[in-house]
Structure 1
């Protein structure tokens, strides 16, 4: 298979390259949607809720708001608005500390994550892993790692 690395940047995608791009976009969106819908149906948590709660839980339930923004790749305004909605629902609290704001997962947030994590794991397995053989899963992981590698560009 040609990688077409020698072509000028202005060369349009071939039909197969375009098909690959759109298949990737479609698969990514379908997978994210299916997993998020499974989690929301079981817990009421949105995909962004899960991302925030899991990242905070990974650091013992408390994280600096600016660190959370970096990890999630969100701008500060988006994160602040989302955290306000989560505070209103009793999932997190925020407090000013020297040099910033700390976000802490509440007991209610910890409880809902405990319910959501096995649902999330089952959804990932059902929608991403089970359709493939073990060898195919490993090849897919290797391909995705290669795409995401810092030196892949």
Structure 2
């Protein structure tokens, strides 16, 4: 049984989006930008860390403070160039160090980076809860997570 709705019934590449499809697309774009901006601003105003800084620091500390650069790119969904430039900026500020190892590059969070992420994590958690989770019921949160997982990792579903 298909899980597609009438929104996905028309797959002809030459047919413009329907009004419902366009409304969904623009609602997604607007919601994504509003959430990203609000959460990033809450964290930046409290800690000085940018949205990319906190994403890297949280992911790296989730795996004991050291992660392969290529694994970080996959987890974040970033291309190698974007990640490399961001890591260079973070190295200049003393938040991470990179070192060549067999088969790649490891990124390690420094003591300064660990202090910053420790200060940022409660702010980040509160911002995510306030802007993304609290507007919904627990059932809606689970449905939203499942839908987003389906979009972002269709091969895992």
Give the TM-score, by structure 2 length.
0.85
Query: What is the rounded CA distance, in whole Å, between the counterparts of 1:44 and 1:145 in structure 2?
Result: 30
Question: Aligned residue for 2:41?
Answer: 37
Gaps of 5+ in 1: none
Q: Does 1:115 align with 2:122?
A: no
Question: Aligned residue for 1:67?
Answer: 71
Question: Aligned residue for 2:28?
Answer: 24
Give the TM-score, by structure 1 length.
0.87
Question: Aligned residue for 2:110?
Answer: 106
Q: Does 1:96 align with 2:100?
A: yes
Deviation at 1:151, TM superposition (A): 5.4
Deviation at 1:40, TM superposition (A): 0.6
- Secondary structure in 2 aligned to 1:103? strand
Range moving further from structure 2, 5-14 or 85-94:
5-14
Q: Does 1:141 align with 2:145?
A: yes
Query: What is the rounded CA distance, in whole Å, between the counterparts of 2:12 and 2:119 in structure 1?
Result: 51
Runs of 4+ in 1 over 6 A off after TM superposition: none
Q: How many residues align?
A: 152
Deviation at 1:143, TM superposition (A): 3.0
Q: Does 1:132 align with 2:125?
A: no
Alpha carbons of structure 1 residues 71 and 19: separation in structure 2 relative to 1, 3 Å: same
- Secondary structure in 2 aligned to 1:10? coil
